[in-house]
C-alpha cells in the first residue's frame, strides 16, 4: 500500500543546499509554480528548502501570488536568540512563515559535528516555534557494509525524538538518507530503502504507538531523479523524497513531483 493509500500525503521537498542566490530563487520558484499550475496539491505536497538568504524573497513570492508551494529552512538554531554568531533562530524562521526545517542533515552532522543531542534540541526548537522538522537520518557506507545500517539509523531516530511528546512526534517528517547515496548518483535500491523506512516506522510504533507511526511521513533521500522516483515512491513505507541536486533543475524536479506519471 502506498503513502497516499494509507492517508499520508506524499511530501516532495527540494533541499537546495548552498545553491541559488535570492534572485535565482525567485526565478526558480516562479518556474516551478508555472509548471505545476495544474497540480493537485491535496495529492502531493511540494516544498523547497532554500538557503537562509533566499527565504524572504521566496516568502514574498509565495504570499504575493498565493502559491501552494511550501518552503522552509535547512537548519535552525537550538537557541531562541542572543550571542550565537551566524545562527538563525526559530522565531526568525517562524516570522518568515517557514513550514518546514531540515534538522540533522548528514552534511550538518559531518561538517558541523552535530550530535543526536544537538539535533534533538533543534527538533524541539522547531516545534516550539510552530515549524515542522524534517529529521534527517542515515548511515555512512562503512556502517552499511558492516550491516549496522538499521540499528544506526534507528538510534538517530530515537536520539532526534528524545522526550518529544506524541502530539508533536505524529507530525514529524523523517528523511532516511543513506550518506553514501547523497550526491553520488548511487541510489539505494528501493527495497533496501524500504527495509530501513519500515524499521523506522516500527521504531515509532515502539516509542509512541501504531497510530503515531502510521501518521508520520518518511521520505527517502539520496540521488533521487525522475528515472528512479516511481520505484522509490511505490514502497509501502516511503512517503516522499528529499531531493538535493535534482531539485535545482526545475524541469527535473517537476518530473519528480509528478512521480505518478513516471
Q: Toward ligand G3H, which CB reaches closer, 160 or 213?
A: 160
Q: Is 177 a catalytic site residue?
A: yes
Query: Residues 28, 105, 129, 149: which is the catalytic one?
Result: 105
Q: At its nearest, how many Å lie between ligand G3H and the CB of residue 244?
A: 2
Q: Would residue 144 be called left, alpha or beta, if left means φ above 0 and alpha means ψ between -120 and 50 degrees?
A: alpha
Q: At its nearest, how many Å lie between ligand G3H and the CB of residue 242?
A: 4
246 forms part of the interface with ligand G3H (CB under 6 A): yes
Cell of 98: 517557514
Question: What character string, x for contact with ligand G3H (CB under 6 A) and - otherwise, covers 157-186?
Answer: --------------------x----xx---
| Radius of gyration for the chain, computed over Cα atoms and rounded to the nearest angstrom | 17
218 forms part of the interface with ligand G3H (CB under 6 A): no
Q: Which of residues 57-76 bind ligand G3H (CB under 6 A)?
A: none
221 forms part of the interface with ligand G3H (CB under 6 A): yes
Nearest Cα residue to 53 out of 3, 108, 96, 10: 96
Q: Is 129 a catalytic site residue?
A: no
Count of residues that interact with ligand G3H, criterion CB under 6 A: 14
104 forms part of the interface with ligand G3H (CB under 6 A): no
Q: Which of residues 13-32 bind ligand G3H (CB under 6 A)?
A: 15
Q: At its nearest, how many Å lie between ligand G3H and the CB of residue 224?
A: 5
Q: Toward ligand G3H, which CB reaches closer, 164 or 182?
A: 182
Q: Toward ligand G3H, which CB reaches closer, 212 or 226?
A: 226
Beta partners for residue 103, in sequence order: 135
Query: Residues 45, 107, 139, 177: which is the catalytic one?
Result: 177
State yes or no: 189 annotated in a binding site: no
Nearest Cα residue to 140 out of 89, 177, 90: 177
Q: Which stretch binds ligand G3H (CB under 6 A): 33-41, 64-72, 155-163, 220-228?
A: 220-228
Residue numbers in the known binding site for substrate are 15-17, 183, 223, 244-245
Q: What is the set of active-site residues?
A: 105, 177
For ligand G3H, the binding residues (CB under 6 A) are 15, 105, 177, 182-183, 221-224, 242-246
Extract the annotated binding site.
Answer: 15-17, 183, 223, 244-245
Amino acid at each position: 500500500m502506498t503513502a497516499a493509500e494509507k492517508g499520508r500525503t506524499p511530501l516532495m521537498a527540494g533541499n537546495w543546499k548552498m545553491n541559488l542566490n535570492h534572485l535565482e530563487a525567485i526565478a526558480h520558484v516562479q518556474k516551478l509554480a508555472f509548471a505545476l499550475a495544474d497540480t493537485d496539491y491535496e495529492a502531493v505536497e511540494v516544498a523547497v528548502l532554500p538557503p537562509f538568504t533566499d527565504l524572504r524573497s521566496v516568502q514574498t513570492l509565495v504570499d504575493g501570488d498565493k502559491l501552494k508551494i511550501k518552503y522552509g529552512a535547512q537548519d535552525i538554531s537550538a537557541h531562541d536568540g542572543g550571542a550565537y554568531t551566524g545562527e538563525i533562530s526559530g522565531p526568525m524562521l517562524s516570522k518568515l512563515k517557514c513550514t518546514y526545517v531540515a534538522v540533522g542533515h548528514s552534511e550538518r552532522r559531518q561538517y558541523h559535528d552535530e550530535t543526536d543531542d544537538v539535533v534533538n534540541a533543534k527538533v524541539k526548537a522547531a516545534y516550539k516555534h510552530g515549524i515542522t522538522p524534517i529529521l534527517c537520518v542515515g548511515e555512512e557506507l562503512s556502517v552499511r557494509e558492516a550491516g549496522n545500517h538499521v540499528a544506526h539509523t534507528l538510534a538517530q531516530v530515537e536520539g532526534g525524538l528524545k522526550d518529544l511528546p506524541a502530539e508533536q512526534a505524529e507530525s514529524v517528517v523523517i528523511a532516511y538518507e543513506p550518506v553514501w547515496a547523497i550526491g553520488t548518483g548511487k541510489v539505494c535500491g528501493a527495497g533496501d530503502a524500504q527495509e530501513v523506512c519500515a524499521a523506522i516506522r516500527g521504531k515509532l510504533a515502539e516509542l509512541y504507538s501504531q497510530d503515531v507511526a502510521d501518521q508520520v511521513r518518511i521520505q527517502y533521500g539520496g540521488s533521487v531523479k525522475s528515472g528512479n522516483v516511481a520505484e522509490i515512491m511505490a514502497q509501502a513505507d516511503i512517503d516522499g523524497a528529499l531531493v538535493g541536486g535534482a531539485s535545482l533543475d526545475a524541469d527535473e524536479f517537476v518530473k519528480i513531483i509528478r512521480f505518478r506519471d513516471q
